[in-house]
Structure 1
Amino acid sequence: MTAKWKYIGAAKWYDCKLGKYYDQELARLAGTTPGRIKRRRELFGIPPYSINQAIEPYAHLVGLLSDRALSEKCGASVTSIRMYREERGIEPRAKVPHRQQRLPLGHPVRPFKDALRLVPAEDVAIAANVPLQDVLDVCAIFGIKPPKADIQPPESAPLEDVAGPLIGYESLFGKISSAKISRAVGVPLGVIEQRRMSLGLPGHERVSKADRYKHLFGLLPNAVIAKLAGVSTARIADMRKAKS
């Protein structure tokens, strides 16, 4: 379903939150009625909020953590976690004795053994500075199946600038924020945002490499996460404090 721009009108500050909150909750935050929120959400072609949205950032932990532990982590109920897991055919966390095998002291993969179930083997190989096959061999020894590496989607073709009043900056979308575009070209921010939305483009988000590993906070030591992300341990500690 595509956005019905003919009826949407001017941009609202809460448009970016449509479908990310229950309509009633967003209506309370925006000081309007649930009916208006629902109407605007439907004009944008955005489906209603589902509790699955709270679980999906932690989908890689379903079956690794207990339903209750995952519930405490993401805020969804234990029942919601169980239903999400069963719908995907994922068995609950097995209560098995702790394996006694250990990698020898000094083995480069040893500090990352607990990370092998949580991040791709390719990431561990880079962090440990060993060939990928060495990591895969360790996984085979311990019966670990690491998650698959993320496949980056191909970059879309850059937009071309369109000549005309209050336009001509389209090629900057996706590269810098709307606020920076506004300052660079001297066009009001509201106009920039309306132009971005009319093209159906998402807002610019600057994501650091370390952000890819934020889901590991509390699961792995800061030093291990720092190695995986290629940043300092102090940087990871600061990010954890900011998140908490």
Structure 2
Amino acid sequence: MPQNLLALNWKMNKTPSQAISWAKELLAGLPQTSAELAIMAPAIDLQGLGWELKDSPVKLGAQDLSPHESGAYTGEISAAMLKDVGASYAVVGHSERRAYHAESSQIVAAKAASAIAGGLIPIICVGEALDVRERGEQVAFTLDQLRDSLSQVPVLGAGEIVIAYEPVWAIGTGKTATAQDASEMADAIRSALVGLYREYADGVRILYGGSVKPENIAELCAQPNINGALVGGASLDVASVVGMARALV
């Protein structure tokens, strides 16, 4: 059973000074937990967080990265740059990137491949909108998105990718997929991974993301094929993070 991952996605929140203050508060009250904690911070925050969290068990991750290794790509940030400031993870294909920046699954696949080539673990996001679920097409839609988003990812090893299932209708809405809903999708994703990666599939962590909080994280992560959570709003508050971490002891 893979170790649970609590991936904290701050989105476009916290200045560099606020990020350092947050990290100090977290480290002062870091609870015993079986989960790995990782902060997906804005890129401008990562260097300061890297210094603050050095030698702590808390990892760092980026919210996005370029599919390119280097070059004339103004405003882009490469895997090598992220690795150099201490990042271990990079989120790719978050629903907000897909919606607001028109990122296709082919672009997501290229970013995932770039992350792996640069020594980062991509957290590859997939999930359906409400209209898809209402039509009963959520499994087929999500698995198609998954396969397309993995199309450039080589078979390397179980720990080199993470999949995050985020039903778009549950992000920031206060609505949460039931544990049964989340488990159904995680089971389907695991089966698809077996078809793609065979013996490595059982070691790939599958996260649930969508209005996760201390009150529901334990039930969600108790499902056989859910190995942690990608947390948005609740990740901004240290007390909530501590509560979620304690729930995963």
TM-score, L = length of structure 2: 0.24
More helix by share: 1
Larger Rg: 1
More strand by share: 2
- With CA pairs under 8 Å and 6+ residues apart, which has the higher RCO, 1 or 2? 2
